[in-house]
Amino acid sequence: MNNTGQHIEIWDQCLEIFKKNIAPQAFKTWFLPVKPVKFHNSVLTIQVPNKFFFEWLEEHYVAVIKAAITKVIGISARLEYNILVNQQNPQQNPNSSANTDYSTKESQTIPNPFVIPGLKRVKIDSQLNPLYTFENFIEGECNKFPRSAGVSIVNKPGGTAFNPMIIFGDVGLGKTHLAQAIGNDVVKNSESKQVLYVTTEKFTNQVIQAIKSNALNDFMNFYQMIDVLIVDDIHFLANRPKTQEIFFNIFNQLHQSGKQIILTSDRAPKDLTDVDNRLISRFKWGLIADIKTPDFDTRRHILEQKAKKEGLELTQEIKDYICHHIKNNIRELEGVVISIVAQSTLNKRIVDMKLVKDIIKQFVSQVDKEISVENIKQLVAKYFELPIEKLHGKTRLREVVIARQLSMYLAKTYTNSSLKVIGDSFGGRDHSTVLYSLKAVQDMMDTDLLFKDTVTALEKKLELTLQG
């Protein structure tokens, strides 16, 4: 059985068997690149692009390969691999597909898709923004949990239960900042770690280029070198089956090797659409942490930090006004600061409330009307059919106490008034009484659904007032 071309004929017959037993995408990815080399004494030699390719075939398809060559050649069939180190020097590694004994020297150079071809680099360019650090990531209740998890990962990347780590939330809440802060700290703490940040869009474009240049296997091999892989906006994998297939394989190899994977998304994995269920299931293996909309105090701290960075001094009144109107997006806070700096330096305008209000109008479709503590007291008194004076008095009637506590709660939520100002507005009560009232309202909302409905109804009335 040594006829010229017989190895090609045998492999073609095997391919027909593989095609019937393997998913089409997997068949294209893992079997079409394989080349038959020779056939002699019942031994079929095939050439694979690299070591990773060989290991993947042996790990995932050994049974179907053995069945195919046995059916085509006979029970005495054996399989040997040539592992391509470079175009001139393939390394042969004789292995039965049922009994792997691989030991060869790794000598190939893995192309880095992030550097100019031909330039040698000892360490991969991480593509991280050095400005994204934990030091300038403002912590609040909205992000405390994912931030703490990120710090744990830095101390032991790939060695915690937070692998993969999925950070999700709306646009502009700091997902990219946190993900890159983890990467920057890993780079700082361990020079030997290969860290890489890539957007899903860039990753997809790299896949397309790798396919066009017939370098897909080298591309995948490059990604297997990464110790901490950070992929931004993973929701953009939707409707990209080829990219999903390749990312799935890279994900599996990294995870099995104990490498850290960090992903960001604008929604939770369960809400991702048009993404392979196999990927979704793997996203759920580790930690899924959401970053919520920052509360008023966190927004103010973020604003103060960004203003300080720009050398901008703002009065407390202006800071409170900005944070009252820019509620959902940290990027908009940054945009407001930049606009103030531009107007004050380029147009020589004084940073006063008039300037700030003009700028805010560019960021929100309608500037909220102001709500005062008095507005809230009038609304609550009317709702409970009580004279407003009762809220100021010392009566301990349950209905009045609840109305008073609820008024304080709404005043803290919908105005910029301090605890002292709120307390003074309710008959000169101190800040500790206001704090007690806030907790009492929250506790009642957690245990009394009817009371929670009352709060919701009043909040809707206030929102309508804000909208004009």
Query: What CATH number does the domain containing 79 carry?
Result: 3.30.300.180
Give yes or no for residue 205 having a pLDDT over 80: yes
Q: What CATH number is given to the structural domain containing 340?
A: 1.10.8.60
Cβ atoms 47, 57 nearer than 8 A: no
Q: Tokens 């792997």 belong to which residue? A: 100
Give yes or no for residue 188 having a pLDDT over 60: yes
Average confidence (pLDDT) over 400-416: 89
Average confidence (pLDDT) over 147-162: 91
Cβ atoms 325, 359 nearer than 8 A: no
What is the predicted pLDDT for the residue at 96?
Answer: 38
327 located within any domain? yes
Task: Report residue 233's pLDDT band, with 50, 70 and 90 as the boundaries.
Answer: very high
Residues 149 and 278 in one domain: yes
Give yes or no for residue 224 having a pLDDT over 70: yes
What is the predicted pLDDT for the residue at 364?
Answer: 67
Residues 271 and 323 in one domain: no
Cβ atoms 255, 261 nearer than 8 A: yes
CA distance 116 to 214: 18
What is the predicted pLDDT for the residue at 184?
Answer: 93
Among 33-47, 81-95, 406-420, 441-455, the minimum mean pLDDT is found in 81-95
Task: Report residue 237's pLDDT band, with 50, 70 and 90 as the boundaries.
Answer: very high
Residues 237 and 173 in one domain: yes
Residues 153 and 267 in one domain: yes
Tokens of 302: 């973020």
Instruction: Domain count for the chain, please give it.
Output: 4
Residues 338 and 311 in one domain: yes
Q: What CATH number is given to the structural domain containing 249?
A: 3.40.50.300
What is the predicted pLDDT for the residue at 167?
Answer: 94
Residues 379 and 356 in one domain: no
Q: What percent of the chain has pLDDT over 70?
A: 88
Range of the domain at 41: 6-93
105 located within any domain? no
What is the predicted pLDDT for the residue at 298?
Answer: 84
137 located within any domain? no
CA distance 222 to 177: 25
Q: What CATH number is given to the structural domain containing 386?
A: 1.10.1750.10
CA distance 14 to 64: 10
For the chain, what's the residue count?
468
Among the candidates 259, 290, 321, a domain finishes at 290
402 located within any domain? yes
Q: Give the rounded distance of the alpha carbon of 205 from its chain centre.
A: 19
Residues 316 and 249 in one domain: no
Question: Nearest CA to 60 among 106, 108, 13, 100?
Answer: 100
Residues 164 and 222 in one domain: yes
Three-state DSSP class for 427?
coil
Where do the H-state alpha helices sit in 61-192? 62-73, 144-155, 175-189
67 located within any domain? yes
Task: Write down the mean pLDDT value for the chain.
Answer: 82
CA distance 245 to 248: 5
Residues 280 and 305 in one domain: no
Packing angle between helix 449-467 and helix 431-447, nearest 10 degrees?
120
Q: What is the pLDDT of residues 54-109, one digit of tens each?
A: 777 876 777 788 888 888 888 888 888 887 654 444 444 444 333 333 233 333 33
Tokens of 446: 């957690």
CA distance 299 to 399: 35
232 located within any domain? yes
What is the predicted pLDDT for the residue at 369?
Answer: 55
Average confidence (pLDDT) over 8-23: 88
- The angle at the Cα of 406, spanning 403 to 411, to the nearest 5 degrees, equals 125
117 located within any domain? no
Q: What is the pLDDT of residues 75-86, one digit of tens each?
A: 888 888 887 654
Residues 38 and 61 in one domain: yes
Average confidence (pLDDT) over 315-323: 84
Residues 86 and 43 in one domain: yes
Average confidence (pLDDT) over 223-227: 88
Cis, bond preceding 164 (omega within 30 deg of 0) = yes
98 located within any domain? no
Task: Provide the b/e sequence for 271-300 (b: ≥16 CB within 10 Å).
Answer: ebeebbeebeebbeebbbbbbbebeeebbb
Q: What is the pLDDT of residues 348-400, one digit of tens each?
A: 788 888 888 888 887 765 445 567 788 899 899 999 999 998 998 888 899 99
What is the predicted pLDDT for the residue at 113?
Answer: 54
Q: What is the pLDDT of residues 112-153, one digit of tens each?
A: 555 434 333 446 778 888 889 998 888 888 888 999 999 999
CA distance 74 to 195: 48
Where do the H-state alpha helices sit in 47-93? 51-60, 62-73
Residues 257 and 273 in one domain: yes
Three-state DSSP class for 416?
coil
